[in-house]
Chain A
Amino acid sequence: MTRILPITARNLRDSWRGLLAWALGLTAALALYLPLFPSFGSNGSLEEIIATLPPELVDALGYDQIGTGSGYAQATFFGLIGFALIVIATTAWGASAIGGAEESGRLELDLAHGIDRVTIVLENALAILVKLIVLGVVVGVVIGILNGPSELGLEASGIVAATAALTGLGALSATAALLAGAITGRRIAGVAAGAGIAVYGYALQAVANQSGDLTWVERLSPYSWAYSESPLESGFGWGIAAVWAVAIVFTGAAALALRSRDITG
């Protein structure tokens, strides 16, 4: 009576409450930020405030385009609060999948049963992907609903592309956490890796935005890969695919890492 993808199913069943909470959090963030755009984004009052800020800060935060609907959604949600929420959620998922399971003793019991090591990594990664897709759909739908009333003027293709970029960054943190957990067997190493790669990408693009001479730095930042082509306006680009590709590579590396070492608990 072997069920299909039993580990993925268990992961989802054990974490649907958390997933619901993250979905509500993202919805709340969108509902808080986006409707403010007509009252002071599009009429230029926000740009006046921005103009009084040091230009370096404005560049670092990506607020230079904040007068447009897409620039506003990018600067407030995709580039900042949405990014932070997604990264926190996915880092936690990735870190607990292997590193956390090993620390709690569950991995030893799982692996003593009819489960092999590559499968346990891939099925957990699949569960994280499913949860990311759920959050992506929630984000896309909520933005779609708020788009009209908030006068953002976003294209559907732009929303889809930006959501793919956002969830791609989540997948990157999740798989970095998964990989570090698979190498070390420690949850904390996964948290450090997942959060670390997000902070690294964000910091690098902030530096790159400081000057035209530094734009080459962007190439080292996954955050820039995802967002520098302005997916809300121009749709899908290679950068988004690159982020997802690295996440896939990390997943494969995690499977290999777990396959080749002792489980210590």
Chain B
Amino acid sequence: MTPAIELNDLRKQYGRRTALHGLTLSVTPGTVFGLIGPNGAGKTTTLRVLVDIIRPTSGTARVLGTDPRTGGAALRRRIGYVPGELRMEGRATGRRLLDFYASVSGPVRPGRIDQLAERLSCDLSRPVRTLSKGNKQKLGLIQAFMHEPPLLILDEPTSGLDPLIQREFLGLVHEARQNGQTVLLSSHVLSEIQQAADEVAVLSQGRIVAAGAVDELRLGAVRRIRAVLTDADTDAVRDALTPLSPATPPEVRAQDDRVIVHATIEGEIDPLVKALAHFHVAELLIEEPDLEESVLRLYGAASTDNSTPMGGE
């Protein structure tokens, strides 16, 4: 079966700066493929090449079996695209904007636009320039999904959307997959990709540093822990926890009569929970670190020190 998307040693150079260092990847038709990586990793550049907004310096790209450089308007009618930096201006209403794109990329099933607008609770009667960022993003989603194209290329599609609408969006992706559409989705939020994608490629500084099935990647295995213990002393806590992550010992300090623990843990969470259970746990917070930290930690060439467990969100 021809891959929906096939990139072979794709490079993009902007003057002396290299945005993509030879990307090779393949997306199976009918799957949801996630492209994740920190901001500036090259996700947007890659997706723009696929719709021929920018042209690669070298290497080849094939989208639905066709080179985007030669596929032209006919190829792009078969793609739904949400730009990474969606901006909309003008006096025209959302409905008129969608009607315009329907007329150049259609056909669109009758009632489809209204159905999507209702699901995403998007008011189509207002001029687009008066819309909030979230509402513009909804219009961006509608224009990509409305003509039910075989391929959806979505660059940070949920940015600016509230959690309820994000869930609705995941529903749309799920349905698209069931209809046999292929979805390529980029994000810098790991959990979004974990919920939606079958396969993932992790991009860092213009290179793919990991790829495979979502569950096989160990990205989700890095967690940050913050715990507040009472009836404990710092040395005992340190002795109990240090064996669990010898590479990055936990930060343990006393404050008044409490002990505060910051730790970063890889792998199973159970030993840590059991170790903490020996003390009286007043508070426990377990969270995903940001993607950049995970990528650097697990796949970065220079896995720099992670001595700032509370740095960043």
CA A1 to CA B77, docked complex, whole Å = 13
Chain A residues lying within 8 Å of B55, measured Cβ to Cβ, are 262
Specify which chain B residues have a CB less than 8 angstroms from the CB of A6 in the assembled complex: 100, 103-104
Q: Which of B62-116 contact A (CB under 8 A)?
A: 72-74, 76-77, 79, 81, 83, 85-92, 100-107
- Whether B90 and A105, one on each chain, are in contact in the complex, defined by CB atoms closer than 8 angstroms, is no
- In Å, the complex CA distance between A227 and B89 comes to 40
In the complex the two chains form, what is the Cα distance from A109 to B90 in whole Å?
14
B88–A3 contact, CB under 8 A?
Answer: no
A263 to B54 Cα, complex, angstroms: 6
* Contact, CB under 8 Å: B83 / A105: yes
Q: Complex formed: what's the CA distance from A10 to B1 in Å?
A: 40
B51 in the interface, Cβ–Cβ < 8 Å? yes
Report yes or no: A113 in contact with B89, Cβ–Cβ below 8 A.
no
Question: Does A48 have its Cβ within 8 Å of any Cβ on chain B?
Answer: no
Task: Pick from A55-63, A82-90, A114-122, A172-180 the stretch touching chain B.
Answer: A114-122
Query: In chain B, residues 43-73, which have Cβ atoms closer than 8 Å to a Cβ of chain A?
Result: 48, 51-55, 72-73
Contact with A1, one of B87, B90, B107 (Cβ below 8 angstroms): B107
Q: What is the total of A-B residue contacts with beta carbons within 8 Å? A: 76
A104 interface hit (Cβ, 8 Å): yes
Q: Contacts A114-B105, A265-B85; is A119 near B73 (CB within 8 Å)? A: yes
Nearest chain-A residue to B50 (Cβ)? A112
Are B90 and A112 in contact (CB-based, < 8 A)? no
**Main SS of chain A's interface residues?**
loop
Check A108–B53 contact: CB distance below 8 A. yes
Top 8 A-B residue pairs of the complex, sorted by shortest distance between their CB atoms: A105-B87, A114-B77, A262-B54, A112-B81, A114-B105, A114-B73, A113-B105, A112-B51
Could you list 21 A-B pairs, sorted by A, with CB under 8 Å? A1-B103, A6-B100, A6-B103, A14-B90, A14-B91, A106-B90, A108-B53, A108-B83, A109-B81, A109-B101, A111-B51, A111-B52, A112-B51, A112-B79, A113-B105, A114-B73, A114-B76, A115-B73, A115-B76, A115-B104, A262-B54
- A111-B76, A119-B73 given. 9 additional CB < 8 A pairs? A1-B107, A2-B103, A6-B100, A14-B90, A104-B89, A112-B76, A114-B77, A115-B73, A263-B48
Q: Residues on B close to A: CB < 8 A?
A: 48, 51-55, 72-74, 76-77, 79, 81, 83, 85-92, 100-107, 143
